[in-house]
Amino acid sequence: MLVVVAPGQGAQVPGFLAPWLELPDVPEQLAAWSDLAGRDLVRYGTKGDADEIRDTATAQPLLVAAALAAAGALFGHVAEAWRLCGAVAGHSVGELAAGAIAGTVSPDDAMRLVRVRGEAMAHAAAAEQTGMTAIMGGNEAEVLAAISAAGLTPANVNSPGQVVAAGPAAQLAVLEANPPPSTRLRRLHVAGAFHTHYMAPATDALRRAAAGVAVADPRTTLLSNLDGRAVRTGSEWLERIVAQVSEPVRWDACMQTLEGLGASSIIELPPAGTLTGLARRALPGAALLALKTPGELDAARSLVAAHAVNTASHTPEWRLLVAPLAGTFHAEVAAAPDGQRRNGHITAGVEIGHVDSRGSKHPLLAPCAGHIVEWLVEEADPVNPGQPIARLQPETAE
């Protein structure tokens, strides 16, 4: 299954957009999005220095525009991307690009929203001197305890080996002077404590802007940073986009969901590298590609051809859903093995159940729309990694 992901703030580097301007139609598209963003994205993406593109009001629209431009180059048009993607996800502001790729919001409306988001978060960040520090390695429980003891917030839980603390700069300095055991700390080049209560004013501004945006239900599986679950409706996606500004990013949960869905390939849109780096540990065995320049487009298209959801000559009669890890299986009521919905319709991305493992719940999501034709385990059965759970008849095979 092909997954496309869009990075968040902090991934940008000076000049990263320059090679993409050599493609037909990209300069014109970026110029149009620059008007919507209120920023000269072409100049910032080619000539802006590190300090200029660090500015939140500039960085966020620049990131979304770059991801959408590359998606258009890869798939022919952003509006066609969902047909080949088994799932889409974005990290922080990358969720706006992901929403457009999944057909939930138009690219132009995504740019209108990111303008408000970036400007509002920049304004909120200016109210107090705050920042973010990445913590790599160590024991996760000890890391989270140290963050809490310092009066900070775990704003990004990216993986078991990477948590980002956020809060007042003075308290970040205290944490950096007394790091948790076996960790490395790095202050991030961002302007404030994103995804914490310090961003509450930005949430209010974005909610007002979102009221005028038309949305549609996702046309492929679209994951949310809030808890890693698939979003089922356009209205739910929009509400989560607003709330997420002041809520922690659970990218680790997104990776767990992708593992449960059977992600076999991940393409990260530019400025790429961060999310494929995290996926290397979280999804061993998956084919990964960081799409940094147009020079990687041929390799990306090869991955699309090999892993996209509808590249087969025919739709399989059924798909096997398997346990993502060892634990105890529990079905959701709407899809319980007792037959309540044995012949009922299951939508793409719906949680048919979860595996309890060491106190954590790992969702098992339907990779496509269809009907469950056979349950292969009973409620509360112990399961092993890769053990078949159910057979799903895809909607297009009926």
What distance in Å separates the CA atoms of residue 130 and residue 128, rounded to the nearest whole number?
6
Identify the three-state secondary structure at position 230.
strand
pLDDT at res. 365:
80
Provide mean pLDDT across the span 340-344.
Answer: 45
313 is catalytic: no
The amino acid at residue 91 is H
52-61: average pLDDT: 95
For residues 367 and 348, the answer to whether their CB atoms sit within 8 Å is: yes
Q: Residue 339's pLDDT is what?
A: 40
pTM equals 0.78
What is the rounded average pLDDT of the residues 268-292?
Answer: 95
Cα distances (Å, whole numbers) of residue 387 to 121, 255, 320, 377: 45, 19, 10, 9
Q: Are 175 and 147 in contact (CB under 8 A)?
A: yes
Which of 34, 91, 159, 195 is catalytic? The answer is: 195
DSSP 324: S
Categorize the per-residue pLDDT at 343 as very low, low, confident or very high, splitting at 50, 70 and 90.
very low
Q: Where are the beta strands (DSSP E) in 181-338?
A: 183-187, 221-222, 265-268, 287-290, 319-322, 327-331
Catalytic hit among 34, 92, 159, 246: 92
pLDDT > 90? residue 95: yes
Tokens of 335: 């899809």
Report pLDDT for 318.
63
Residue-level pLDDT at 234: 94
Average pLDDT over residues 53-72: 96
Statement: residue 336 has pLDDT above 60: no
Sign of the Cα torsion 3, 98, 74, 15 reads: negative
Cis peptide bond prior to 271, omega within 30° of 0: yes
DSSP annotation of 314 reads S
Q: Is 108 helix (H, G, I), strand (E, B) or coil?
A: helix
Residue 138 pLDDT exceeds 60: yes
Long-range CB pairs of 171-179, under 8 A, 24+ apart, other chains included: 172/131, 172/132, 172/133, 174/150, 175/133, 175/146, 175/147, 175/150, 176/133, 178/146, 179/135, 179/146
Q: How confident is the model over 7-16, as pLDDT tens digits?
A: 999 899 999 9
- What's the Cα-to-Cα distance from 161 to each of 9, 138, 148, 189, 279, rounded to whole Å? 19, 7, 17, 20, 12
How distant, in Å, are the alpha carbons of 8, 27, 267 from that of 261? 23, 36, 16
pLDDT of residue 176: 96
* Count of CB atoms situated within 10 Å of the CB of 35: 12
In this structure, the chain runs to a length of 398
Q: What integer pLDDT is reported at residue 360 of this predicted model?
A: 75
Identify whether the C-beta of residue 315 lies closer than 8 Å to the C-beta of residue 292: no
pLDDT bracket for residue 370 (50, 70, 90):
confident
To the query of whether residue 345 is one of the catalytic residues in this protein, the response is no
Structural domains of the chain, ranges and CATH numbers in brackets: 2-124+197-307 (3.40.366.10), 127-187 (3.30.70.250), 319-397 (2.40.50.100)
pLDDT at residue 302 tops 80 = yes
Q: How much is the mean pLDDT over the chain?
A: 89
